[in-house]
Amino acid sequence: MEHRPLGRTGVSVSKLCLGTMMFGAWGTRDHDESVRIIHRALDAGINFVDTADVYSQGESEEIVGKALKGRRDDVVLATKFFMPFDDDPNHRGGSRRWIMTEVERSLRRLGTDHIDLYQMHRYDPAVDLDETLGALTDLVRAGKVRYLGHSTFPASAIVEAQHVARDRGRERFVTEQPTYSILTRNIEHEVLPLTQRYGMGVLSYSPLAGGWLSGRYRRDDQSGPMSVARQRLANRFDLDLPENQRKLDAADALARLADDAGLSLIETAIAFVLRHPGVTSAIIGPRTMEHLESQLTAADVGLTDDVLDRIDAIVPPGVTLNPADNGWVSPFLQPSARRR
């Protein structure tokens, strides 16, 4: 499998990154099967594995730790912090207190003495970035973390974080992990140009748009997996919303386009993400071995300019069909911030 530079770090990572959110209580509960899936991904040439402390409340990290025994040195291992871990208001966020506590717990669950890429899971304007970067810098200097990254940061926060690191003598964030797919192209406006300007690596998540581009969400079959998703994330999956009707129309058109090109919709969706010059790796998040096998083949797919033009005609550059899919919504747009 092709390897690409992770920004300007000097590290090379596979163009597909294995996401492990679906291992554990949130997806595949069988640890042995999850380990087999991870091993299959590694055997296929993937050397980049991404997880997070919050995935199945730490269970995903534990599974990854089991799978990497004896193979840890061959893997670029990424995990994340920040999301609420329980009801305690101090068990979350970007404070030094929480970072220093949670990194130790992640290291223990992962069964390793260092994390290659430690990422802040979301941006929070209430948290001083110098507070966060100060703690993370200490972890790098202590050898517990090699590199720093963030996920789903808006463009303004990406710039602010780079300036804070420069002005305060902190380690800087070297990667961004945004959501990116044919249906979710908002980051093409500013985020991808910025990460390229700063020489950052980009590991984009949800190339299948939360399953909308898996081939299972079609107008002629609106049953099955939609029911659970609609209950949990109605604004993204409720078919009564016009935004999601547009996603269905696009998924149907893209499936026809993929068929014309002799590809699966999954291959087309992942290959589209990988084609952008600002993307380092696309994170695939299989729940089963079948899912993994259907996504691995995308690594060998190259989309022609004609196919890319047809994709742009279905979903124009920079457009996200449902803004709820963008991953981060400014708190300053909430009614309380608008004094209403």
pLDDT in tens, 80-114: 999 998 899 999 999 999 999 999 999 999 999 99
| Percent of the chain whose predicted confidence (pLDDT) is above 90 | 88
Q: How many domains does the chain have?
A: 1
- Dig out the tokens for 28 from the structure: 């595949």
The 10s digit of each residue's pLDDT in 206-265 is 999 999 999 877 776 655 444 444 455 778 988 889 999 999 999 999 999 999 999 999
Q: 162: closest CA among 7, 326, 333?
A: 7
Task: Please give the residue range of the domain that contains residue 109.
Answer: 3-338
208 contacts 238 by C-beta, under 8 angstroms: no
121 touches 80 (CB < 8 A): yes
Q: Which of 55, 118, 205, 217 is catalytic?
A: 55
pTM check: above 0.85: yes
Q: What is the pLDDT of residues 5-18, one digit of tens each?
A: 999 999 999 999 99
98 in Cβ contact with 90 (< 8 Å)? yes
In angstroms, the first-to-last Cα distance of the chain is 53
- What is residue 222's predicted lDDT score, i.e. its pLDDT? 55
Burial of 292 (0-12, 13-18, 19+ CB in 10 A): buried
Q: Three-state DSSP class for 28?
A: strand
**Measured between alpha carbons, how far is 122 from 114 in angstroms, rounded to an integer?**
22
Our answer to whether residue 55 is catalytic in this structure is yes
CATH of the domain at 19: 3.20.20.100
| Contact yes or no for 99/129 (Cβ under 8 A) | no
What is the tens place of the pLDDT at every residue in 276-313?
999 999 999 999 999 999 999 999 999 999 999 999 99
